[in-house]
Amino acid sequence: MEHLTHAKQEIFDLYIRLIHQQEQQETVMKERISAEMKKMEREFGAELKLNMSDIHTISCIGDHEPINVTSISEKMGFSKATVSRITAKLTEKGLVSKTQLSDNKKEIYFRLSHKGRSIHHLHQREHEKIEQRFKRFLSRYSADEILFARALFRDLLTADFLADTEKT
């Protein structure tokens, strides 16, 4: 029983290390994208000053255009107010354009501009590299281990370790 308690503690410690490592890797990804974005800024003749939420919003729009605030909010897990603020910033910078569908003049939809599409492609390339490396990493595990890991990650995504009560 003590062995199991120790194993649980070790898993928790590794989980915390993984979170910290993810933060560090996000910083590295920002730096890579930032270097490419500096080149784009020179090409576009304007400073972009985008954060990762801006870049992920561009990616979401590029993956699903035309798309409205509600759909972006649902897909990204952001509030509608946050999406509205980000899309206003992206529109102002000329990365996104607003459109209306011919059958619905009330709803505003977003599409990427040429500049926005360039950023979207850059982001996609970075994600594809990460995905390839991750899948190569997973190849060291058996099918049963991969299925267990999938179940574990699904459960981790729905767990709220900060809540006072436990979800079951």
pLDDT digits (tens, 9 = 90+) for 44-66: 777 788 888 999 999 999 999 99
CA gap 31, 25 in Å, rounded: 10
Residue spans of the domains in the chain: they are 2-158
For residue 40 the two structure tokens come to: 């784009």
Average pLDDT of every residue of the chain: 89
pLDDT of 24 strictly over 80 = yes
CA gap 6, 2 in Å, rounded: 6
Alpha helices in 45-140 (DSSP H): 52-64, 69-76, 80-92, 114-138
What contacts 84, CB < 8 A, 6 or more positions away? 69
pLDDT in the model for residue 38: 81
CA gap 8, 125 in Å, rounded: 37
pLDDT in the model for residue 35: 79
Under the banding of pLDDT at 50, 70 and 90, the label for residue 131 is: very high
For residue 22 the two structure tokens come to: 């993810």
pLDDT digits (tens, 9 = 90+) for 62-96: 999 999 999 999 999 999 999 999 999 999 999 99
Q: Which CATH number fits domain 2-158: 3.40.50.300, 1.10.420.10, 1.20.1600.10, 1.10.10.10?
A: 1.10.10.10
Side chain identity, residue 78: F
CA 94, 30, 139, 161: dihedral to nearest 10 degrees? Answer: -100
